Structure 1
Amino acid sequence: MPKHAISRLVGKFAAAKAGWLTTKAIKWFIKAYNINMSEAKLKNAEDFETFNDFFTRELEEGARHIDNDSKTLCYPVDGAISQQGDIEQGQLIQAKGFNYSLTSLLGGDANDAKPFEKGKFSCIYLAPKDYHRIHMPMAATLRKMIYVPGDLFSVNPLTAQNVPDLFARNERVVTIFDTEHGSLAMVLVGATIVASIETIWAGTITPPAGKDVFTWDYPAKGVDAIHLKKGDEMGRFKLGSTVVSTFSPNMIEFNKSAGEETVTRLGEHYADICS
């Protein structure tokens, strides 16, 4: 199946102001996925000019509470945990029987992977019904962004159990941050029908899809530095996917009550800071 072509075609419709057709598609989607529109800032299908506007809908003020404890991390998205745990011998767990490479996930440069060796990782899957804006789990300063071309396999739990190296094969945007407690990477993984990945500082990164890895470096200080607070929006998916986060060694300990298939809600307790 030509996954890129189909995804881009769907993306064109999702971005189109198609009037009654857009409204009808949104109404179908709300019903099919039982979406809770009471927590959205705009609550009616007719309020959205495009399907993308609906899919990346803003939440009503107060719909999520950001835990402001400086010694904790908050969940960056609504979704469900696929896997999380230790990074061992440069490998992350994808599913039972499947591991994948930290270096490959981050774009292939061993220097980018080095700060996270023997650290921890967490993979959160966003279902179609979820809120699709991505927020910061802790305060951080952007150091690097990497666009990595790749496939567009579906990233649902069934696919994760059957496609080797799924998250290191799909198209993705890697964002690497410095924090007071160590390094943080947030990897926004594309998938079939994911029409666009955006960040708040650079806008749309994909489409168009590329064939080469592209890298952007950012200053730590000065007027061009990008500082984000805990809970700040950092990006969004237009038609959902997965966020894989990696952390430096001895930096955090995940919420012990959370594990595989745990439902996550933006702003709730994610992990405790160790350092």
Structure 2
Amino acid sequence: MMTVPGSRLRSALARVGAQEDLNFLLTNRIPRRLATRFMGWFSRIEQPWVRDLSIATWRLFCDVDLSDARDTRFPSLHAAFVRALRPGARPVEADPAILTSPSDAILGAHGRIEAGRLYQIKGLSYRLADLLGGDEALSRLHEGGTYATLRLTAGMYHRFHAPHDLRVDSVRHIWGDTWNVNPIALKRVEALFCRNERAVLRLRVGERGHPVTLVPVAAILVAGLRLGFLPEAVDLRSTRGRTLPCTTRLRKGAEMGWFEHGSTIVVLAPPGFTLWPALREGARLRMGEPLMRLPDGPA
């Protein structure tokens, strides 16, 4: 008996659904905190055969390119995760009218911030104030503005950089879970970014001091979020959600911090900013490439 095209389509969709179920089960139904703590410990083992096997396994399952790394050998898997780049590996767009991508990433949900909500994925939105740890005033500051969701996969370069000449006004750590942030989880876990561990970085960019906010969001196996512009003694997780005032100034492209595995950065800009017109959801970005255009008028 001949199989009709509709039946083949339903069969294919069922297989995709089964694969998504398995992926979700493997990445989100395990003890996430325990797995994350284990990865934080295991990835730092500097025994040569452990290092070589773990890096080989990582490269087997992830699209990893170490050719632009500053170092050619790494003492541990962790060192490879948080690798620095060789000079010139990421040219930074110099035009002062452009806000650049702070990291290598895949562009996810993006657009206009309306009624205090952002999209996590098509058809599923969340409250901006919840992402910001209940900060309604900061949410209102970005109402009518532009947002972009940048997903860092496990094999990508994990450091993030200043998207413009800027001043860091404050940093706030928000404790949370470690859900996977892959597209399958984004479709199934409501307000996922609002549940995960994250930080809120309030910035003033450009000569006019436009208020821009970066929200780095941790995920499963992310054993830590580090901000290089803070004193080494500052442990974000020990701040218990307190807002840390800051006066650090950084030049466009300067390193800000790093994840210790793949994750997400949500970029929030006020009204007047516009997304770079050539970008589309699913586009791959490199740190330093155009992300948004600054407004022409004053902040």
Counterpart position of 2:146? 120
Aligned pairs for 1:125-164 within 5 A? 125-164=151-190
In structure 2, runs of 5+ residues without a counterpart are 1-29
Do the aligned partners of 1:17 and 1:50 also contact (CA within 8 Å) in 2? yes
1:145-199 Cα shifts (integer Å, max 9, x gaps): 1111111110011111111101111110111111224111111101111111000
2:255 aligned with 1:229: no
Counterpart position of 1:27? 56
Shift of 1:209: 7.8
Counterpart position of 2:260? 238
Counterpart position of 1:48? 74
Distance 1:14 1:267, change over 3 A: same
Do the aligned partners of 2:121 and 2:186 also contact (CA within 8 Å) in 1? yes
Q: What is the alpha-carbon distance in structure 2 between the residues aligned to residue 181 and residue 89 of structure 1?
A: 24
- Structure 1 range deviating more: 131-140 or 196-205: 196-205
Q: How many residues align?
A: 264
Q: What is the alpha-carbon distance in structure 1 between the residues aligned to residue 221 and residue 235 of structure 2?
A: 13
Counterpart position of 2:109? 83
Distance 1:2 1:28, change over 3 A: closer
TM-score using structure 1 length: 0.90
Shift of 1:204: 8.4
Q: What is the alpha-carbon distance in structure 2 between the residues aligned to residue 243 and residue 205 of structure 1?
A: 21
Counterpart position of 1:191? 219
TM-score using structure 2 length: 0.83
Residue in structure 2 matching 1:68, options 94, 102, 114 = 94
SS, match of residue 37 in structure 1? coil
Counterpart position of 1:7? 36
1:99-149 Cα shifts (integer Å, max 9, x gaps): 111111111121232321221111010111111000111111111111111
SS, match of residue 138 in structure 2? helix
Shift of 1:20: 2.1
Larger Rg: 2
Identity %: 29
Q: What is the alpha-carbon distance in structure 1 between the residues aligned to residue 108 and residue 177 of structure 2?
A: 20
Q: What is the alpha-carbon distance in structure 1 between the residues aligned to residue 212 and residue 158 of structure 2?
A: 20
Counterpart position of 2:132? 106
Q: Indicate the structure with greater helix content.
A: 2
RMSD over aligned CA atoms reads 1.8
Q: What is the alpha-carbon distance in structure 2 between the residues aligned to residue 265 and residue 259 of structure 1?
A: 14
2:256 aligned with 1:265: no
Counterpart position of 1:222? none
Which amino acid counterpart does residue 60 of structure 1 have in structure 2? R
Do the aligned partners of 1:197 and 1:205 also contact (CA within 8 Å) in 2? no
- Structure 1 range deviating more: 230-239 or 112-121: 112-121
Do the aligned partners of 2:173 and 2:237 also contact (CA within 8 Å) in 1? no
Q: What is the alpha-carbon distance in structure 1 between the residues aligned to residue 163 and residue 236 of structure 2?
A: 26
Do the aligned partners of 1:107 and 1:146 also contact (CA within 8 Å) in 2? no
Counterpart position of 2:241? 213
Distance 1:116 1:266, change over 3 A: same
